[in-house]
Amino acid sequence: MITKDYITSGTKRRSGIKNLGVKFLVAHDTGNPNSTARQNVNYYKNSANEASASAHTFIDDIDTIECVPLNEKAWHVWYSVTTDNTKYGYDANDCAIGIELCYFPQDKARTQKAYDNYVNYLADLCKTYNLNPLTHISGHFQLDPARKTDPMNAFKVIGKTYDVFLSDVAKLTAGQNITPITTAKLGDTGQNIDRIQEILTKKNYVLSTFTKGLYDANMASSVLYFQLDNEVADIKELSKLRGELIGNKTIKQLNI
């Protein structure tokens, strides 16, 4: 059961500003061993104007508490760190849900239960927002490796690697609402095209205004610009295709 107990809006920890849509998830741990989800949320609520630092959700062995609405920004990754921009084309604070895992170093069973709740929650988010967990969940330690180690502090208590964690989430989403993009071509329509257009826009590869959700000639010109700039294939081959086809190499370069 998810409890919604929000920090007061219009404060440093919760601005109330809407996000730009959920594009990926960031896996955190609290870095505060033996603290519960309730204790962490209460701390954030009681210190709402002390710092611009927050997360959307805290999870332990008993509670899953959302303290910032999932359609709002939370401050869980430094803007000055650009790994998220390179990987996804967005700042995490603008487009990612931050989820904190509580852990108990002297209580492996309790940490395992918290982990199970955490994995289930992230799997549900992946299904809700049509995200591939293998590509669209990043650990805080991956986005800010110079400063952060989470969520590995918690995972080490129960002997979990990060790859095993992603696999655990993926098992719960298998065959359910996850539609990874593998190719796209001129004339295609729908959500996947919309996602590609959003990334091209964020990466500043827009030569002409897109028709939302339609792979038309305007989008093709921008695709060709991106392909040539990122050398996804031989120039002669790309010139023949004229940006009218997106294959696996382009998808990988777009980090979809």
Give 3-28 pLDDT, tens digit per residue: 999 999 999 999 999 999 999 999 99
The CATH T-level fold of domain 2-173 is Lysozyme-like (3.40.80)
Q: Does the fold of domain 184-254 match that of domain 2-173?
A: no
Can you give the pTM of this predicted structure? Answer: 0.72
Nearest to 89 by CA among 239, 210, 253, 223: 253
- The answer to whether 103 touches 160, Cβ cutoff 8 Å, is no
185-224 confidence digits (pLDDT tens): 898 887 788 878 888 887 788 888 888 889 999 999 999 8
Cis peptide before 133 (omega within 30 of 0): no
Terminal-residue alpha carbon distance, the chain: 31
Query: And the tokens for 81?
Result: 């760190």
Please report where in the chains the tokens 């954030």 appear, as a residue.
44
Domain boundary assignment for the chain = 2-173, 184-254
Q: CATH classification of 184-254, choosing from 1.10.101, 1.10.3470, 1.25.40, 1.10.1740?
A: 1.10.101
Question: Residue 143: its pLDDT value, please?
Answer: 96
| Low-confidence residues of the chain: pLDDT under 70 | 175-180, 255-256
Question: Residue 241: its pLDDT value, please?
Answer: 79
